[in-house]
Amino acid sequence: MAWLLALPAVAGPAEVERGRRIFDAGGCLACHTDVKAAGPPLAGGRGLKTPFGTFYAPNISPDPDFGIGRWTDADFLRAMQGGVSPTGAHYYPAFPYPTFTRASDRDLLDLKEYLLAQTPVATLSRPHEVAFPFSLRPLLWFWKLFNFRPLRWQPDPARSEAWNRGSYLVEALSHCGECHTPRNLMGGLDRARWMAGARLGDEKSVAPNLTPHASGLARWTARDIAAALEFGLTPEDEPIGGEMDVVVTWSTSRLAPTDRAAIATYLQELPALPAAAVIGRR
């Protein structure tokens, strides 16, 4: 498989700059930095509450002992595309490798070069708080068997260039479906209801329906969607709020205008599905 192949590490300013764009598209800073506690960048993030426990994003700074400073290209691809650590342990899917697996090797290795150009932070990653039996990592092999397909994104020649770019951003780099798609009983994405909205881990908040259904974005224009991704405001000039405020601040507002427009194009051409989760209802 692709993540088992080591590619030559030839990096320069162009690769690092491309990596920065991948970094922003993925919203990596928001997850891997404890922003609320003013923690060092990339030293590890705040907790993500789920029905299975609380997961903490690890240190991904270039520190050789506590971060990814010693990782090879093959290590990085195997983690991002296969959900396996350099020591062979399976990662929990709170790390969205089921989506990152669709990203190209080149984009991911550019991301790695950008990360290695950052300041190392000698901080131990906070351990996850996961109860038995979910604490048994070997069980993740079975989870992957039913919920993980390591397939790369492929363009659709029948679609426009803008749609394809939006598709790649949503389905691979920006991992929008990880929050906006409901999950099955095992915690895997219910792809039959792709982007139809979902309850978030604490069950108190909802990631809304992003399909062009009446319960979703049917009344939003492409310009409305692009503006929301840039400024965090609805067409009525109301703040989006919630977790999306973090996404806008640290990710989508930093994208190129053409990328925000491409995401809007993609979302408007999704199948219109009724909302899978409604605010205020269980």
Residue percentage of the chain with pLDDT more than 70: 92
What are the φ/ψ torsions at residue 239 (nearest 5 degrees)? Answer: -60, 140
Burial of 119 (0-12, 13-18, 19+ CB in 10 A): exposed
Q: Which of 101, 79, 98, 94 is nearest to 127 (CA)?
A: 94
Angle between helices 222-231 and 242-250 (to 10 degrees): 80
| 134-167 pLDDT, tens digit each | 888 889 999 999 999 999 999 999 999 999 999 9
Delineate the domains of the chain, giving CATH numbers in brackets: 10-147 (no CATH), 161-268 (1.10.760)
> What is the model's pTM?
0.91
Q: Using CA atoms, how far apart are residues 213 and 280, in angstroms rounded to an integer?
A: 19
Q: What is the largest CA-CA distance in the chain?
A: 52
245: how many CB neighbours lie within 10 A of its CB? Answer: 12
- The pLDDT of residue 279 is 54
DSSP-derived 3-state class of residue 254: helix
Q: What is the mean pLDDT of residues 52-67?
A: 95
Confidence of residue 278 (pLDDT cuts 50, 70, 90): low
| 6-32 pLDDT, tens digit each | 334 445 788 999 999 999 999 999 899
Which tokens go with 32? 């891997």
Q: Using CA atoms, how far apart are residues 223 and 229, in angstroms rounded to an integer?
A: 10
User: Is-cis flag, bond preceding 155, omega within 30?
Assistant: no
| 76-95 pLDDT, tens digit each | 999 999 999 999 999 999 99
Residue at 278: amino acid letter: V
Q: Which of 173, 174, 164, 176 is nearest to 269 (CA)?
A: 164
CB 194 within 8 A of CB 177: yes
| 209-262 pLDDT, tens digit each | 999 999 999 999 999 999 999 999 999 999 988 889 989 998 999 999 999 999
